[in-house]
Chains A and B, each alone.
Chain A
Amino acid sequence: MPKLIIDDIPVEVPPGTSVLEAARSVGITIPHFCYHPALAIAAACRLCAVKLLDGPVKGIQMSCSLPAQDGMVVSTTDPDALKMRSLVIEWLMLNHPHDCPVCDEGGECLLQDFTIAGGHSRRRYVGKKRTFQNQYLGERIHHEMNRCIECYRCVRFYQEYAGGTDFGVTGSAGRVYFGRFAEGALESPFSGNLVDICPTGVFTDKTGRFRARYWDYEFAPAVCQHCSVGCNTSPQNFQRELIKIVARRNDQVNGWFICDRGRFDKEYLNSPQRPRDPEIGGAPGEYRLALEAAANRISEFCLQNGAASLAFVGSGRLSLEGCLVLAELARVVGAPFCYFTESAAAQGSLAAVRLLNEQNAARVRDIEKAECIALFELDLMEEGAMLSLAIRKASLAGAQVFRVGGAREGEKHPLPFRYQEVATVDEVPFEGGSKGVVICGAGGKSPELLSYLASSGAKLVMLQPGPNAFGAALVSLERKGATLSDLVESGQIKAVVCFEADLPPWLLERVEVLACADWKRGGLTEKASVLLPTTTWVESNGTSINYEGRAQRFLRSRPAGLPLKGLDPKYYSSETEAVALHPPRVHRNYIPGGAEREAWRVMADLMLELGGEPVNEPLTGRWGKLRDLDPEGEGVRIYDLVSAQDLS
């Protein structure tokens, strides 16, 4: 372990650590642009210069590419190093357009910060600035090449890290250009990370530009709810509108990055079509009245048909809290409950949860360090795109990747790594399996098939059909949940009460929907006699469990309610007079459209209505340990809380 001294602070770091990282470990940030922890060292920007006063090397050195060695005495504040760093900033500023006021990066710009920090405030260069033509890079990313400081982060991420081929660097000397060969939308499904990784405003998020500055945003740690990988994100809200989603680091899940679906698929959260007010028989009503109406319908139905002909339906979209309270609600009424609507899908999810344990459930590290990986009959880029980057890392390090069963129908993106096609999983040479990983989708697979895959001895990734389908399957096993299609086909069930559930049309036809709570509209909300709006993950606190059994907490990042932008004039003109005033002069003591509640709270309120006990804390019993889960931590794997075997 090399021991060195940085600015009079003794530091001991593992061998191979750079001086920059060693300094970081004791809280010293050495300015840098091209250095990024997830990318290979470039040593191109030369901003991280420090002076070595004593030791095996001396003089000015680039701390990002200098391995820490015994006996080094490093000064980050030596006048020589300061001069070098201020010159680097001056050089980068020769051509930078200084257009911060009209740049969407302003306020969250590394170049801005280090320019101010470096003390470069007077322009000495009197020559012309170089200018470039920008490119159209699609509807999501805006290109502004004049701002470029040539740190090569974008191209290193796009090509080396994400395996993209349609974006790169051209030109040389002062004409280095980062773009595509010809204009056009970026093809990589990870292109949005260019926005995060660019230290200045070359790449900005076109879907949310010029709406607010960094300091205006409401942030909170969130977990992406698009697939079962559970990437960590930070939604950036402004006036109850989700403007942007950026990646949040979690080395156990997504590293530094997220996929484009997780970043850009966000329109549904701000959608004016979202149910905002409770509806009774299609007419808007107050929450309290809608709740009573729902309770009355349930009671009446149970009196006439018996509680056993009613089912409470949830889904893998519910948080763990929602899943647990749903079971409780069903118990109070005495009715069955389910999280899965069709038995084929249910079998796979439940079997996967039964099969996985602390030893065989692959972590992201296991994938990255694997020597042999088999992709079994899945569209990885659709079901868990971020895992493809972990596989790419393994592949670049020499792992063999096999694809069993060929490409799926309708695949949109090529896999960003080399692989061989094989017909059956038996052809994959796992050889003992300790460094092997099998990746498959759990939904729709038979339990026998999944057990067979598990018998290879390789570590397992079984992607679930919903962001918290793992959690739903666990609760289903623990509390003895049913599957809706089984109940309906046996003729037992006549009516359902749904919480964030998705029913296929054939099932929907055969049941009455007494009440439905959801944040999106669909066949169910159309058919429901009472509709109770719920909040999405942006407006909710909750816990979800990803494909590997990792429980992660997400927090509310904005209050429930309609976004201020595009707010219906009825909310800011007087209710009695037809005159719309500008600026709005009508004051209210509630948030327009703010009647949504988290699904578990709706369930708890309904339970109270139906004569149950109040629920203040949904995580009880064995789940109580998850209450103080750190939303900014790495999450915890649930296998020591609950082993799936003792649930079955």
Chain B
Amino acid sequence: MDLPLFRHNRRDRSVAFKEYRSEGGFEALKRAITGMTPAEVQQTVIDSGLRGRGGAGFPTGKKWSFVPRDLPGPRWIICNCDEMEPGTYKDRVLLEHNPYSLIEGMTLACYALGVRHGFIFIRKGYEQAAENLARAIDEAKKEGFLGERILGSEHSIDIDLHLSAGRYICGEETALINALEGKRPNPRQKPPFPAVKGLWAGPTVVNNVETLANIPGIVVRGAAWFKGLSMNPEGAGSKLFCVSGSVKDRACVELPIGIPLADIIDGPCGGMRLGKRFKACIPGGASTQFLTAEHLKVPMDYDPVAKAGSRLGSGGIIVFDQDHCLVEATLNLITFFARESCGWCTPCREGLPYVKEILARIEAGYGKEDDIDILREHIKYLNYSFCALAPGAMAPLDGLLRHFEDEVREHIVKKKCPLKK
């Protein structure tokens, strides 16, 4: 099987520049600069059907097309590598093995959109990845793939690495832009969207690492090839899935998008751990609803997972077994979100600690019948917060009450956690 993202990976180290180059690396950039107009590159990306791999799944080409063509002044591309969603570690694995695809993809994106200067916003904890990227930028510059007059053409493109202080909210694109400008990472009011008014008030595209790393493959092999990678007729490309929880082998693997959930768990992950049965999983990072055993056949692509009542998200799958208390698991996630709220809007700042307090009480055996109603109110009204953090935080809670309300009620009735001895 063709693995465009992981095909350069070495077992236990990062791929070297020479190796990447000899395996066809930077050919896409060469082809674009020498034989394609920026508009053609953009059209190829639109045709490929590539959707944003950060979690929302917004079509990348469409996002690019929102950038006004004729606006004077600088425009920017930012690579979002603030990967902080619990259960998600695909970008780290990708960058620790191969920083070059990102650099090449990002340079192509800069070329397509007429951007002179791109930024990689990387989370503080990703030291190895940052080191790799810094090295890759240097090498690419030395070889003429980046910097002044790329490959002898009149195009000059620079990429800077920004090691952030690291907060979950920095993954929200407008908060990321504020952080990059040196401000508090509070999200901005939309509209105007970043594509029109973003970094330093210039048009700005913010893309995920995996999204950008897919672009060299699309440019060099074409949109049709990319679409053909999918196992799902409507899907396009491959997807990195990072699995954790009760599976035998917790791994980050590249698989065709649209692969059924069960095939991920039973295939590369080697099935459930000994004596454990699949109870539920979070399919795409902490801000997605639970999928249960009845969803095991769901193709892991954006639309089918949405139809199943959840989201493909970032592809960070957390698997729970029959001995896991999902109230406790949800409490754990909500604790994370409550801590990571930026504190800007009331529902998120005050509502999440409220939910956390209720879940903690239910888990400890002090839950009340009314608590479920209060939780439902929060699931509904936290949607009206300033950005997507609070609605995302409510997704696992929503899943909990949708699929496991009996388990929650059991906690309240028995006045203890039924899964604890």
Interface residue B346 (Cβ < 8 Å from any Cβ of A): yes
Q: Are B350 and A92 in contact (CB under 8 A)?
A: yes
Whether a CB of chain B sits under 8 angstroms from the CB of A41 is yes
Indicate if the CB atoms of A46 and B342 lie closer than 8 Å: no
Given contacts A41-B189, A125-B354, A172-B167, contact A150 B339 (CB under 8 A): no
Interface string of A34-63 (1 = CB under 8 A from B): 000000011111110100000000001010
Most-contacted residue by chain B among A125, A172, A176 (CB, 10 A): A172
Given A41-B189, A169-B184, A88–B346 Cβ distance below 8 Å? yes
Report B-chain residues with C-beta under 8 Å of the C-beta of A197: none
* Of B357, B361, B370, most A-chain CB atoms within 10 Å: B357
| Cβ distance A426 to chain B, nearest Cβ, rounded Å | 33
Contact A173 B357 (CB under 8 A): no
Q: Which chain B residues numbered 316 to 351 have a C-beta less than 8 Å away from chain A?
A: 338-347, 349-351
Q: Report if A94 contacts B (CB, 8 A).
A: yes
Let me know if A46 and B346 touch, CB within 8 A.
yes
> Is the CB–CB distance between B370 and A46 below 8 Å?
no
User: Of A83, A84, A152, A174, which is within 8 A of B350 by CB?
Assistant: A174
Residues A46 and B353 in contact, CB atoms below 8 Å apart = no
Interface residue from B342, B346, B352, B353 paired with A92 (Cβ < 8 Å): B346
Provide the bound-state CA to CA distance between A396 and B284, in Å: 43
Residue ID in chain B nearest A170 by CB atoms: B184
- Interface presence of B384 (CB below 8 A): yes
- Tell me whether B232 is interfacial, beta carbon within 8 Å: no
Contact between chains at A173 and B338 (CB < 8 Å): yes
Closest approach, in angstroms, between the C-beta of A458 and any C-beta of chain B?
29
CA distance A315 to B46 in the complex (A): 77
Within 8 A of A (CB), among B152-193: 167, 169, 184, 189
Q: Which of A587-614 contact B (CB under 8 A)?
A: none
Whether the Cβ atoms of B350 and A43 lie closer than 8 Å is: no
Q: Which residues of A contact B341 (CB under 8 A)?
A: 172-174
Known contacts A47-B346, A150-B346, A173-B338; decide if A94 and B381 are in contact (CB<8 Å): no
- Whether the pair B189, A176 counts as a contact (CB closer than 8 A) is no
Contact A174 B344 (CB under 8 A): no
**Assembly CA distance A60 to B391 (angstroms):** 14
B350 → chain A closest CB, angstroms:
4
Indicate whether B377 reaches chain A with its CB closer than 8 angstroms: yes
Q: For this complex, into which size category does the number of interface residues on chain B fall?
A: 20 to 34
- Tally of contact residues, A, Cβ under 8 A: 33
Do residues B342 and A44 form an inter-chain contact, with CB atoms below 8 A? no
Contact with B along A116-130 (1 / 0, CB 8 A): 000000001111000
Q: Shortest CB–CB separation between residue B322 and chain A, in angstroms?
A: 31
Contact of B340 with A173 in the complex, beta carbons under 8 Å: yes
**Residue A95, interface by CB 8 Å:** yes
Question: B339 to A173, Cβ gap below 8 A?
Answer: yes
Cβ–Cβ contact A46 & B343, under 8 A: no
| A87 interfacial by beta-carbon distance below 8 Å | yes
Decide if B386 touches A49 in the complex (CB within 8 Å).
no
Inter-chain contact B346/A43, CB cutoff 8 Å: no
Q: CB of A175 within 8 A of chain B?
A: yes
Of B184, B343, B361, which is within 8 A of A174 by CB? B343
Q: Let me know if B385 is at the binding interface, CB within 8 A.
A: yes
Which residue of chain A is the closest to B356 with respect to CB atoms?
A127
Q: Which residues of B contact A432 (CB under 8 A)?
A: none
Chain B residue nearest in CB terms to A124? B374
Among B189, B357, B361, B384, the residue within 8 A (CB) of A46 is B384
Residues of B within 8 A of A173 (CB): 338-343, 349, 352
Chain B residues positioned under 8 Å from A181 (CB to CB)? none
Residues of A with C-beta under 8 A to B385: 46
Inter-chain contact A44/B345, CB cutoff 8 Å: yes
Cβ–Cβ contact B343 & A171, under 8 A: yes
Residues on B with beta carbons closer than 8 Å to the beta carbon of A150:
343, 346, 349
A152 surroundings in chain B (CB, below 8 A): 344
Closest B residue by C-beta to A128: B357
B343 touches A176 (CB 8 A): yes
Determine the distance from Cα of A127 to Cα of B381 in the docked complex, in whole angstroms: 20
Considering the chains assembled together, what is the distance between the CA atoms of A149 and B346 in angstroms? 8
Alpha-carbon distance between A92 and B354 when the two chains are bound, in angstroms: 11
Known contacts: A173-B338, A173-B341. The answer to whether A126 contacts B350 by CB under 8 A is no
Whether a CB of chain B sits under 8 angstroms from the CB of A91 is: yes
Q: Which of A152-181 contact B (CB under 8 A)?
A: 152, 169, 171-176
In the bound complex, CA of A539 to CA of B346 (Å): 44
In the docked arrangement, what's the CA distance between A42 and B169, Å?
17
- Which B residues are in CB contact (< 8 Å) with A91? 346-347, 349-351, 354
The answer to whether A343 has its CB under 8 Å from any CB of chain B is no
Query: In whole angstroms, what is the CA distance A41 to B386 when docked?
Result: 12
Q: How far is the CA of A565 from the CA of B347 in the complex (A)?
A: 46
- A134 adjacent to chain B (CB < 8 Å): no
Chain A residues with Cβ below 8 Å from B349 are: 91, 150, 173-174, 176
Establish whether residues B384 and A43, one from each chain, have CB atoms under 8 Å apart when the complex forms: no
- A88 to B169 alpha-carbon distance, docked (Å): 21
Task: Find chain A residues with CB under 8 A from B381 CB.
Answer: 83-84, 87
Identify the B interface with A (CB < 8 A).
167, 169, 184, 189, 338-347, 349-354, 357, 361, 370, 374, 377, 381, 384-386
Q: List 25 A-B contacts (CB under 8 A).
A: A43-B345, A43-B386, A44-B346, A45-B346, A46-B346, A46-B347, A46-B386, A60-B384, A65-B189, A83-B377, A84-B384, A87-B347, A87-B377, A91-B349, A91-B350, A92-B346, A124-B374, A127-B354, A172-B169, A172-B341, A172-B343, A173-B339, A173-B342, A173-B343, A176-B349
Instruction: Give 8 nearest A-B pairs by CB, closest first.
Output: A91-B350, A176-B343, A127-B357, A173-B341, A172-B343, A44-B345, A46-B346, A173-B343
Q: With contacts A91-B351, A176-B343 known, what are 11 further pairs, Cβ within 8 A?
A: A44-B344, A44-B345, A46-B346, A46-B347, A125-B354, A150-B346, A172-B340, A172-B343, A173-B341, A174-B338, A176-B349
